[in-house]
C-alpha cells in the first residue's frame, strides 16, 4: 500500500466520524488534506460522493427514522432532501416504510419530486473541495 493510499485511508477513517450536518466545519479543518487527495488520488471525487451518500442514509436511519416512527411530519424534518435521497436509494424495506406510513408509492414519489436535489452530493462535495469544481 502506497503512502497516498494510507493517507486516503486515514482521511476516510476520520471523515467517517464527522456528521453530515457539520460538513462546513469538517471542510475548514481538513481543507488541505481534501484538496491534496482530490488532486493526487484517482477516484477520490467519486469516493467522497459515495461516502457522503452513506452519511446521508445513516443520518436518515439514525435520526429521521425514529422521529418518523413517532409521527413527525416528514416535510418538517430539517433537511427533507436527505429523506428524499434515502427514499430514492431504496434505503428502507417495505416493512420499514409501512411502519412510518411511507409505503404509498404515489406519496413517496411526490415527496421525492418535491424535495429531491439532483445536485445534493455534488453540492456537499463542493463544500469539502470548493476549488475542485
pLDDT, residue 105, reads 80
- Measured CA to CA, the distance from residue 124 to residue 113 in angstroms comes to 20
CA distance 8 to 13: 9
| In the chain, % of residues over pLDDT 70 | 96
* 3-class DSSP assignment, residue 73: coil
pLDDT of residue 48: 93
For the CA atoms of 102, 104, 109, 115, the dihedral, rounded to the nearest 10 degrees, stands at -30
Report helix angle 44-59 to 80-88, nearest 10: 110
Q: In the chain, what are the domain boundaries?
A: 3-128
pLDDT at 131: 56
- State pLDDT tens for residues 45-92: 999 999 999 999 999 999 888 888 888 888 788 899 999 999 999 999
- Give this prediction's pTM: 0.85
Distance CA 117, CA 72 (A): 22
- C-alpha dihedral (65, 70, 75, 78), degrees to nearest 10: -60
Considering 2-11, 68-77, 105-114, 123-132, the range whose residues carry the highest mean pLDDT is 2-11
Amino acid at each position: 500500500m502506497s503512502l497516498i493510499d494510507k493517507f486516503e485511508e486515514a482521511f476516510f477513517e476520520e471523515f467517517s466520524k464527522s456528521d453530515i450536518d457539520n460538513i462546513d466545519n469538517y471542510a475548514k479543518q481538513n481543507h488541505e488534506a481534501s484538496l491534496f487527495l482530490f488532486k493526487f488520488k484517482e477516484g477520490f471525487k467519486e469516493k467522497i460522493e459515495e461516502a457522503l451518500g452513506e452519511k446521508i442514509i445513516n443520518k436518515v436511519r439514525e435520526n429521521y427514522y425514529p422521529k418518523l416512527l413517532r409521527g413527525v411530519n416528514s416535510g418538517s424534518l430539517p433537511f427533507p432532501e436527505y429523506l428524499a435521497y434515502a427514499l430514492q436509494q431504496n434505503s428502507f424495506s417495505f416493512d420499514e416504510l409501512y411502519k412510518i406510513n411511507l409505503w404509498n408509492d404515489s406519496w413517496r414519489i411526490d415527496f421525492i419530486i418535491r424535495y429531491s436535489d439532483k445536485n445534493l452530493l455534488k453540492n456537499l462535495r463542493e463544500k469539502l473541495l470548493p476549488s475542485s469544481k
